[in-house]
A and B are shown apart, each in its own frame.
Chain A
Amino acid sequence: MNANTPLANATPILAIERVSKRFTMHQQHGAVLQVFDRVDLQVDAGECVVLDGPSGMGKSTLLKLIYANYRASSGDIWVRRQDGERVNLSDADPRELVALRRYTIGYVSQFLRVIPRVSTLDVVAEPLDEDAGGNLAARADAREKAGHWLARLRIPERLWSLPPATFSGGEQQRVNIARSLIKARPLLLLDEPTASLDAANTRTVIELILEARSNGTAVLGIFHDPAVADAVATRRIPVAGFREASSDQAARPHPTTQRVPA
């Protein structure tokens, strides 16, 4: 996406302002683990921002904060809803958070959380089923779309009626991706979506991310494979900067100002 298009000049889809996260572990005599401190980050429509850095630096934690799976210790996380309204996750009520997950924020977690007894087709269709309620035609349509996504991600049709519990790691990951992409949402969070995929499936996932970008989705992702990051990123941010920022706030360059040429 060109920086001069109107979309890029609009309010960012995601704007993180001075966000800190620390875990206070009461079972360990109140030990405090500071993951990062006063982080700023913006992601615009059509951008794919990649978080770089070794594990344990808080990359996944940042995604979990944006999905409201974790609660920020301080700071603001602004998300632009599809109706243009900005919502701050740090003071949104739970009902608003549920609505944001439903309509605004898609998230591919590192691992699929398997629901016992539910077929793969139903697992993938679930985000659409939530909107369908008791509407049988909408539910049938959801199943058809789920089949389309599973086929695109090369999950053989004979597996669709089975629960994904017994699937391989790579198959579960592809089910997870299908489940997250079946419903287009303005913001997409990706936590190592290609970590256990073979070359062909990795290429498919790259294509899907580029498609999402060209549809105006704002993407924020973590990729262990530098080749995948190179293929999808419009901008890269070294997460090591987050920690350094906390110990020496003034002297360090602003993490969002460190741009890598696309």
Chain B
Amino acid sequence: MSPHPSPLLRVRGVSKRYGQQWAVQEASFDLWPGEVLAIVGESGSGKTTLLNALAARLQPDGGEVHFLARDGQPQNVHTMSQAQQRLLARTDWGFVTQHAADGLRMDVSAGANVCERLMGLGQRHYGELRSQAEAWLRRVEIDPIRIDDAPRTFSGGMRQRLQIARNLVTQPRLVFMDEPTSGLDVSVQARLLDLLRQLTREMQLAVVIVTHDLAVARLLAHRMVVMQGGRVVETGLTDQVLDDPQHPYTQLLVSSVLQP
């Protein structure tokens, strides 16, 4: 029934320890092409550590993560060469950080921020790069008139949208997001969520999004993973986990949310 016989990302028994403390213990799941998966849990539950391990930004102490490369072969993201990891991170993957300043070059122009990955892949034609940058700025609702301005002069919401454009310009198949909407005003958050929702559907992106905000998970994710104390305590369809939570911790999490 599905054109994809294997998952895009296969996560098996991933664990990470800091000193004597386990930050993540035995996390396992599959992510399929076009699927949005939310990892939720409170601060210190290990969700960001897990995200960084998936994206090969840190080496786990146990377990394996395989990514389905474009040639159809699953590749272990932790045992491949650093050059391969860097290529993956610049082409097939994106990583959207919570603070846009960590994911952008704050002192170079917005256009250069968007085009950096394309230039890294060898595109040199100035006119073409510029028109691609303009198209992407429009797509993330930034007036292309700002193309030569540095993100330092942008608002928080604009910076975050620019970071998204910068990540999506190479048409990645998998994007990692670490609390992309926290720290933004509620109205700005709604606009960004709507944009993310549209882009993930139009581009059929697979996304792993870490958030402590259950409303964000409800709006964006097909599936959810709930973490507590470094362990995955519950998984399932997003609305299933939120409307019929089984684990005591998930029930606590869901019942603690204020409904406006």
Residues of A within 8 A of B122 (CB): none
Do the beta carbons of B201 and A27 come within 8 Å of each other?
no
Residues of A within 8 A of B243 (CB): 64, 69-70
CB distance from B219 to the nearest CB of A (A): 7
CB nearest neighbor in B for A129: B201
Bound complex: CA A83 to CA B2 (Å): 13
Partner pick for B191 among A26, A117, A134, CB 8 A cutoff: A117
Interface bits A91-103 vs B (CB < 8 Å: 1, else 0): 0001101110000
- Cβ of B190 < 8 Å from any Cβ of A? yes
Residues of B within 8 A of A23 (CB): 244
Size class of B's contact patch? 20 to 34
Interface bits A1-39 vs B (CB < 8 Å: 1, else 0): 000000000000000000000011111000000000000
Do the beta carbons of A26 and B248 come within 8 Å of each other?
yes
Do the beta carbons of A133 and B204 come within 8 Å of each other?
yes
- Which of A25, A117, A130 has the most B CB atoms < 10 Å from its CB? A117
Do the beta carbons of B201 and A130 come within 8 Å of each other?
yes
Interface bits B217-251 vs A (CB < 8 Å: 1, else 0): 00100110000000000011101100110111001
CB nearest neighbor in A for B4: A95
List B residues 113-167 near A (Cβ within 8 Å).
none
CB distance from A26 to the nearest CB of B (A): 4
Contact of A71 with B244 at beta-carbon distance under 8 Å, contacts A94-B223, A97-B237 already known? yes
Bound complex: CA A52 to CA B149 (Å): 64
- Cβ of B35 < 8 Å from any Cβ of A? yes
Do the beta carbons of B190 and A70 come within 8 Å of each other?
no
Do the beta carbons of B32 and A95 come within 8 Å of each other?
yes
Do the beta carbons of A116 and B190 come within 8 Å of each other?
yes
CB distance from A63 to the nearest CB of B (A): 12
Do the beta carbons of B204 and A71 come within 8 Å of each other?
no
Do the beta carbons of A68 and B191 come within 8 Å of each other?
no
List A residues 164-222 near B (Cβ within 8 Å).
none
Do the beta carbons of A70 and B201 come within 8 Å of each other?
no
Bound complex: CA A25 to CA B223 (Å): 22
Bound complex: CA A99 to CA B3 (Å): 13
Contact of A98 with B237 at beta-carbon distance under 8 Å, contacts A69-B243, A70-B244 already known? yes
Do the beta carbons of B222 and A98 come within 8 Å of each other?
yes
Residues of A within 8 A of B236 (CB): 71, 94
- Cβ of B255 < 8 Å from any Cβ of A? yes
- Cβ of A151 < 8 Å from any Cβ of B? no
* Majority-rule SS of A interface residues: mixed
Residues of B within 8 A of A68 (CB): 237, 240
Do the beta carbons of B237 and A27 come within 8 Å of each other?
no
Do the beta carbons of A27 and B1 come within 8 Å of each other?
no
- Cβ of B203 < 8 Å from any Cβ of A? yes
CB distance from A123 to the nearest CB of B (A): 12
- Cβ of B194 < 8 Å from any Cβ of A? yes
Residues of B within 8 A of A26 (CB): 247-248, 251-252
Residues of A within 8 A of B223 (CB): 94
- Cβ of B202 < 8 Å from any Cβ of A? yes
CB distance from A120 to the nearest CB of B (A): 14
Bound complex: CA A156 to CA B80 (Å): 58
- Cβ of A115 < 8 Å from any Cβ of B? yes
CB distance from A246 to the nearest CB of B (A): 19
Residues of B within 8 A of A116 (CB): 190, 193-194
Bound complex: CA A130 to CA B200 (Å): 11
Contact of A133 with B222 at beta-carbon distance under 8 Å, contacts A69-B243, A118-B194 already known? no
Q: Nearest 6 CB-CB pairs, A to B?
A: A26-B248, A70-B244, A116-B190, A117-B194, A26-B251, A94-B223
Interface residues of A (CB under 8 A from B): 23-27, 64, 68-71, 83, 94-95, 97-99, 115-118, 129-130, 133-134
A-B contact pairs, 23 of them (CB 8 A): A25-B251, A26-B247, A26-B252, A64-B244, A68-B240, A69-B239, A69-B240, A70-B240, A71-B236, A71-B244, A94-B222, A94-B235, A94-B236, A95-B2, A95-B32, A98-B222, A99-B1, A99-B2, A115-B219, A117-B190, A118-B194, A133-B204, A134-B203
Beyond the given pairs A25-B251, A133-B202, A134-B202, 20 more chain A to chain B contacts, judged by CB atoms under 8 angstroms and listed by A's residue number, are: A23-B244, A26-B248, A27-B248, A27-B251, A64-B244, A69-B239, A69-B240, A69-B244, A70-B240, A70-B243, A71-B236, A71-B240, A95-B2, A97-B237, A97-B240, A115-B197, A117-B190, A117-B191, A129-B201, A134-B204
